[in-house]
């Protein structure tokens, strides 16, 4: 991203374009990461509904995984995944993804 | 001058009613306020104008001063011309929002009717409230009289909205002493005020501009925060010239001269008192008395405290032998009042600096009389003779 000097920065601290928060990667804050077991997933979309960071990637009604550039590792997806399914596991950042 | 205009120069109003009258003539889009003594009658009177349909203002009655300033900020970000008034604890409760108003560069005009801060609880005048807000990025103008309060409010709109500034402005007047005393003053007709302030247009997409969606009040982390604050500093650097220019234009329509400060009998003075607001009037009487006794004393009354006109102040004091800065607030630094420390610092660049002392006076509305000023002048003349300062920092108008 271009770094503007103070004379070129828009005053008021305003952001002149819409949707720019997508450009701001917050995934670096994460200590634990969600890992999806696609075999168990029933595409119920509960994780997508509950994710506060819109970090669940969905295409054509299928749950594909996580946008780790924006996922902060809160674990809400794993918590909300139905008890009979439990397709999401929270792993420490440095752990290998055995399931996936 | 026409007879009609002459008649308007003998209008008797209290400081607060004069401020409310100026607000009526300005007819801001939004006023959001919460009552607090001694500023209450500003908004009380203004609400009558709203009720009577004399203005088209949206008056928002809120549940606290924090909310008052918050509502002002939202309205100003939406492109409205916004005003409010407060005092003391009310200003203190606005603290968080003051910085947001200036950081978001919203040209809000607020009257601060100066009052002491608790504890002990006190409703009378001193400058502790606005002096505490001196680092919040607001321009601060101080008014000696009802006339100056009225004139400062009208000028504040133009100053705040100037394209090089876009800064909030605080117009200060002394609680009860000025706010509740009736003085004769000149007021404009409504059209003159309307013509002077002109139309206000936000120079960027506002919150309500759905064609150009923008985010206001976003987070700015270490990679961009300081750029925003540097811009604020630049606006404050520009403010001195804008305030001077607006005052010149104002003089053309009003015949009344304003600048960064007022110099009273300073040209040949040996000793001078620096003092702001209503107490300057008292001090002028003392200057006249001393002059009758053949003693060369003068008065410097800063009108603009933010930005701080350090070059002009040093220039005004460079030939003075001894100076007393009288603060109606203490900064509890054990060194001196807020006005004192900045004035002393302003003098640093001079080759020959005057002797200077700090005196705190009049806290919580304690009377400051002509004799108090005379005593200071006598002390200053003694300092001039001996070249010695006994006490750099002390209180006056206090029982020992």
pLDDT tens digits, one per residue of B310-340: 999 999 999 999 999 999 999 999 999 999 9
Contact across the interface for A14 and B230, Cβ inside 8 Å: no
Q: Pick the closest to residue B216 from B109, B136, B104 (CA basis).
A: B104
Give the angle subtended at the CA of B45 by the CAs of B146 and B8, to the nearest 5°.
45
**pLDDT at site A99:** 52
Chain A residue with CA closest to B229: the answer is A6
The shortest CB-CB distance from A18 to any of B105, B213, B217 is to: B213
| Cβ within 8 Å, pair B214-A15 | yes
Give the one of A9, A15, A18 whose C-beta lies nearest to B227's C-beta.
A9
For residue B225, what is the nearest residue in chain A, using CA coordinates?
A13
- Cβ contact, residue pair B166, A6, below 8 Å: no
Helix residue ranges per DSSP H, chain B: 3-7, 15-26, 40-51, 65-77, 88-93, 95-103, 128-132, 146-161, 190-197, 225-254, 279-292, 310-317, 338-346, 370-386
- The Cα B234–Cα B158 span in angstroms is 18
Euclidean distance between CA atoms B205 and B212, whole angstroms: 6
Quote the ipTM score: 0.87
With CB atoms and an 8 Å threshold, state whether A11 touches B215.
no
Chain A contact for B204, CB < 8 A? yes
The shortest CB-CB distance from A15 to any of B77, B215, B234 is to: B215
Contact list, A23 vs chain B (CB under 8 Å): none
Q: How far is A16 from chain B (nearest CA, A)?
A: 5
pLDDT in the model for residue A98? 57
- Chain A residues touching residue B104 (CB < 8 angstroms): 12-14
DSSP B238-266: HHHHHHHHHHHHHHHHH-----SEEEES-
Please state, in angstroms and rounded to a whole number, the distance separating the CA atoms of residues B400 and A75: 66
Nearest CA in chain B to A20: B215
Low-confidence ranges of chain B (pLDDT < 70): 1-8
Q: For chain A of 100 residues, list the mean pLDDT of each consecutive stretch of 10.
A: 87 88 88 96 97 95 96 97 97 73
Q: How far apart are CA A32 and CA B6, in angstroms?
A: 77
B64-119 pLDDT tens trace: 999 999 999 999 999 999 999 999 999 999 999 999 999 999 999 999 999 999 99
> Which chain A residue is nearest to residue B77, measuring alpha carbons?
A12
B103 → chain A, closest CA residue: A12
Q: In terms of CA atoms, which chain B residue is nearest residue A1?
A: B223
Query: What is the DSSP secondary structure assignment for residue A20, as one 8-state letter?
Result: G
C-beta of residue B159 within 8 angstroms of C-beta of residue B246:
yes
Handedness of CA B250, B49, B19, B136 (dihedral sign): negative
- Contact of B221 with chain A, judged by CB distance below 8 Å, is answered with no
Please tell me which of the candidates B104, B212, B234 has its beta carbon nearest to residue A13.
B104
Pick B105's closest partner by Cβ from A6, A11, A18. Answer: A11
Among B10, B66, B57, B70, residue whose Cα is nearest residue B30: B57
Cα(B11)–Cα(B185) distance, integer angstroms: 5
pLDDT for res B354: 98
Can you tell me which residue has the tokens 């005048």?
Answer: B125
Chain B contact set for A20 (CB, 8 A): 215
**DSSP H or E run through A49:** helix A46-50
CB-closest option in A4, A13, A20 to B103:
A13
Interface test with B, best of A3, A11, A15 (most B CBs within 10 A): A11
B105 touches chain A (CB under 8 A): yes
Q: Is B371 on the interface with A (CB under 8 A)?
A: no
Chain B neighbours among A 13-32 (CB < 8 Å)? 13-16, 18, 20
Q: Which residues of B touch A5 (CB under 8 A)?
A: 227
Are residues B251 and B138 in contact, defined by beta-carbon separation less than 8 angstroms? no
Of the residues A1, A4, A13, the best mutation for testing chain B's interface (the one with the most B CB atoms within 10 Å of its CB) is: A13
Confidence (pLDDT) at A21? 81
């Amino acid at each position: 991203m271009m770094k503007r000097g103070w004379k070129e920065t828009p005053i008021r601290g305003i952001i002149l374009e819409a949707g720019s928060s997508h450009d701001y990667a917050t995934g670096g804050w994460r200590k634990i990461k969600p890992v999806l077991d696609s075999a168990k997933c029933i595409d119920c979309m509960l994780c997508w509904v509950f994710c506060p960071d819109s970090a669940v990637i969905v295409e054509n009604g299928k749950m594909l995984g996580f946008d780790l550039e924006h996922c902060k590792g809160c674990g809400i997806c794993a918590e909300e995944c139905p008890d009979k399914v439990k397709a999401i596991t929270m792993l420490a950042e440095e752990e290998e993804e055995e399931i996936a | 001058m026409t007879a009609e205009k002459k008649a308007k120069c003998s209008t008797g109003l209290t400081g607060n009613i004069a401020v409310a009258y100026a607000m009526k003539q300005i007819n801001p889009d939004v006023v959001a306020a919460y009552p607090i003594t001694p500023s209450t009658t500003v908004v009380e009177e203004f609400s009558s104008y709203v009720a009577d349909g004399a203005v088209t203002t949206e008056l928002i009655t809120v549940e606290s001063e924090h909310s008052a300033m918050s509502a002002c900020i939202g309205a100003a970000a939406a492109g409205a011309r916004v005003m409010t008034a407060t005092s003391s604890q009310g200003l203190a409760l606005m603290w968080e929002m003051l910085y947001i108003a200036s950081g978001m560069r919203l040209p809000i005009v607020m009257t601060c009717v100066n009052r002491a801060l608790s504890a002990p609880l006190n409703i009378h005048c001193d400058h502790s409230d606005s002096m505490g807000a001196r680092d919040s990025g607001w321009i601060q103008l101080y008014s000696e009289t009802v006339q100056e309060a009225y004139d400062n409010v009208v000028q504040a709109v133009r100053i705040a909205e100037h394209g090089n500034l876009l800064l909030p402005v605080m117009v200060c007047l002394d609680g009860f002493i000025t706010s509740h005393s009736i003085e004769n003053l000149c007021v404009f007709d409504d059209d003159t005020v309307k013509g002077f302030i002109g139309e206000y247009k936000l120079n960027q997409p506002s919150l309500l501009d759905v064609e150009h969606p923008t985010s206001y009040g976003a987070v700015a982390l270490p990679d961009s925060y300081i750029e925003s604050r540097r811009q604020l500093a630049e606006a404050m650097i520009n403010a001195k010239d804008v305030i001077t220019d607006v005052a010149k234009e104002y003089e053309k329509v009003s015949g009344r001269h304003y600048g960064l400060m007022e110099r009273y009998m300073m040209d040949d003075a040996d000793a001078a008192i620096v003092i702001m607001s209503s107490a300057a009037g008292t001090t002028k009487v003392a200057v006249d008395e001393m002059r009758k006794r053949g003693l060369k004393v003068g008065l410097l009354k800063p009108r603009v405290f933010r930005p701080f006109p350090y070059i002009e102040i040093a220039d005004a004091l460079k030939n003075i032998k001894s100076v007393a800065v009288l603060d109606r607030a203490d900064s509890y630094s054990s060194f001196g009042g807020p006005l004192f420390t900045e004035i002393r610092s302003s003098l640093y660049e001079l080759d020959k600096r005057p002797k200077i002392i700090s005196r705190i006076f009049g806290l919580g509305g304690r009377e400051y009389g002509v004799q108090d000023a005379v005593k200071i002048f006598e002390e200053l003349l003694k300092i001039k003779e001996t070249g010695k300062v006994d006490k750099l920092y002390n209180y006056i108008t206090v029982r020992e």
